[in-house]
Amino acid sequence: MKHVFITGVAGFIGSSLARTMLEQGYKVSGLDNFDTFYDPAIKRRAVGRLSENKGFKLYEGDIRHRETLDKIFSAAKPDLVIHLAARAGVRPSIEQPELYYDVNVTGTLVLLEAMRAAGIKDMLFASSSSVYGNNRKVPFSETDPVDNPISPYAATKKAGELLCYTYHHLYNFNIYCLRFFTVYGPGQRPEMAIQQFGRKISEGAPITLFGDGTTRRDYTFISDITAGIIACANNLKGYEIFNLGNSDTISLIDLVRGIEETLGRKAVIEWKPMQAGDVEITYADISKARRLLNYSPGYPVHKGLLRMFSEQGMC
């Protein structure tokens, strides 16, 4: 049985992944610092459910603290590290670039060094579709140039990919960098668009849309993401970059209409100008993941919205 160590284990993707891997028979341990980017009580509840499984162990701490990582790796001896911990969000990164660099870049470097010292050479790194910036070629392919990030968050994710390649080259690490495309589902972070829109529409509160409603996103349901991550864990060898997305897009205004239809409520919309750092479209070419991982997303947006809001008791 493979022992997996997940950083950011109490977050939306981390806790969902840990739950699925535990159900599949993996031994899972994880690290989280329960920062206040959003209500830590949400993360505590997610981890509390995981702790009901005897195959799970939680460590509290920060990926930037080398002594913490050394102690954990000495005690836990994981076979694989899945590095999800990061300071998230494009817009907040513009306001706090130094913090984002420290957590996302320095934290990744400290983690890689701790792995090297402990003799752990297998890692999956959570990157982001944001590295593509305003790439005019769609859908986005892993071979596209990604040298023009338009937010500090995107730049930190690109930097993380570069560090991962360096450790693969120098120390023969096996690392896959996974570019996630707008992940949503039950338990999504409260400030993310679908979760926020659904909550406000249910309450009759206004929602804010930036731009003219024509920006498009490739929204990916959480179970498709976890399936892709686990496929990577089972096929890890060498260094690769994979897009994990739904490979379909929907405009912002059509997303809102879909949420309205799912909830049976009309949205009150307040329009504001496009914000700095926002991209016009995200759209994943997943042909590589299909070919090498047998990755096949099963949730178009309408199906994902229904499952998400049903599981959250909203419809």
Catalytic residues: 153
Spatial distance between the Cα atoms of 97 and 87, rounded to a whole number of angstroms: 10
Secondary structure of residue 28 in the 3-state scheme: strand
Cα–Cα dist 103/151, whole Å: 15
User: What is the distance between the alpha carbons of residues 37 and 41, in angstroms, rounded to a whole number?
Assistant: 11
At position 287, the amino acid (one-letter code) is S
Please tell me the distance from the alpha carbon of residue 262 to that of residue 231, in angstroms, as a whole number.
31
Burial class (CB in 10 A: 0-12, 13-18, 19+), 71: middle
> How far is CA 127 from its chain centroid?
7
Token readout for 238 is 């060498």
Tokens read off for 307: 């499952």
Query: What is the end-to-end Cα distance of the chain in Å, rounded?
Result: 39
- Residues 6 or more apart whose Cβ sits within 8 Å of residue 179: 127, 128, 129, 131, 132, 142, 241, 242, 243, 244, 245, 284
Nearest-CA neighbor of 17 among 244, 230, 311, 243?
A: 230
Give start and end residues of each alpha helix (H) in the chain. Answer: 12-23, 40-50, 66-76, 90-95, 97-101, 107-118, 152-171, 193-203, 222-234, 252-263, 287-293, 301-311
